[in-house]
Amino acid sequence: MRAVMFHAYGPPDVLTQVDLPTPVPRADQVLIRVHATTVTSAECGMRRGEPRWGRVIIGLRRPRKGVRVLGLEFAGEVTAVGPAAHRFRVGDRVFGFTGFGVGANAEYKCLSERASVTTMPANVTYAQAAATVDGFTTAWHYLRDLADVQPGQKVLVIGASGSIGTYAVQLGTQLGAVVHGVCSGRNAKLVESLGADRVFDYTVEDFTTSGERYDAVFDTVGRSAFARCRQVLAPRGCYLPTTGLVNNLLAVRTAVTGGQRVRTGMSVRKHTALAALRELLSENRLQIVIDRRYTMAEIVEAHRYVDGGHKTGNVVITVVDDGRPSPP
Ligand SMILES: NC(=O)c1ccc[n+]([C@@H]2O[C@H](COP(=O)([O-])OP(=O)(O)OC[C@H]3O[C@@H](n4cnc5c(N)ncnc54)[C@H](OP(=O)(O)O)[C@@H]3O)[C@@H](O)[C@H]2O)c1
């Protein structure tokens, strides 16, 4: 099967097109023919070996064997089922998250039937489904599991035009919160259309001096600091950063001190969030923002674009040609 691999940390050119044996599902696994996957900011960081402490997990000097094929999100079709796997049938259209095993930048991927995978609603394409998983489920983890956002609360989403951000604005609104967003002016209209009541253009405004008070400040892109956000946080408000080792330490400290808290963490088991995502998609209640589409052969270009830090929503990699034009 065709796949994209990297053997050393570095710029997008470390990615190479390779031929690998098609995997064979173990007893509890399903084999998925990947139709669409994505390039996320998180896996561009893995490719660069950043943050450096992350190499403790993915390989100190070079990426360890199990992470050399990137790809966190996928949508595809089940083509084989292990003898002890009963959740899915051959022909099912499925989408999900590969987690620490990555590996969706390939024509086929084996996953346990207990992994974060579920059937796709009939009304979305493979490209759309792949573009929802990590962004939505991360937004869910932070706004539902960590902050427990309630109707009437106020939420600020920093990076509101990114993958996590575009879903966080919509989810916050659906939870009944008043949502404000931070992005550049070129994305302000989009973020408003997703449900934000107010948008700060970070190129001309400083949201920390706005005089607003938020129950949750969700920094999806690591462009703020707890110390500065405290002035816009309610006395018992939550600061929710998706990145930054220091924030893990602050989370421990503020759990003890009380008052304004830092809550952070990765969501790896995504079953509840995936079920909610599936329902929202099937009811057409979620806008999926796809910025660009590339083929697998063009993945170096896709990484270059995502490395720029200014993608809007999601960047999709088409693995099986669905007849749509690739990059603009
Ligand atoms: N903890 C977890 O479980 C978890 C899970 C997934 C991802 N992550 C991490 O989350 C991070 C973000 O992921 P993502 O994929 O959502 O990001 P993304 O899509 O790459 O974010 C890009 C967006 O950020 C906006 N942006 C850039 N600078 C900004 C600034 N100073 N203020 C506000 N917005 C700004 C850009 O808007 P403009 O173009 O308008 O500037 C762009 O639309 C990554 O570092 C990833 O590693 C964590």
311 lines ligand 1 (CB under 6 A): yes
Confidence of residue 326 (pLDDT cuts 50, 70, 90): very low
164 lines ligand 1 (CB under 6 A): yes
Residue 321, pLDDT > 80, answer: no
CA 266 to ligand 1: nearest atom? 3
| Average pLDDT of the residues in 191-197 | 98
Query: How many whole angstroms separate alpha carbon 74 and alpha carbon 39?
Result: 10
| Cα of 320 from ligand 1 centre, angstroms | 27
Note the pLDDT tens digit of each residue in 119-173. 999 999 999 999 999 999 999 999 999 999 999 999 999 999 999 999 999 999 9
| Average pLDDT of the residues in 243-268 | 94
CA 223 to ligand 1: nearest atom? 31
One domain, residues 297 and 247: no
41 lines ligand 1 (CB under 6 A): yes
User: What is the residue range of 77's domain?
Assistant: 2-132+288-318
Note the pLDDT tens digit of each residue in 11-44. 999 999 999 999 999 999 999 999 999 999 999 9
One domain, residues 52 and 89: yes
Asked whether residue 283 is domain-assigned, the answer is no
Number of domains present in the structure of the chain: 2
One domain, residues 126 and 202: no
One domain, residues 152 and 250: yes
Asked whether residue 277 is domain-assigned, the answer is no
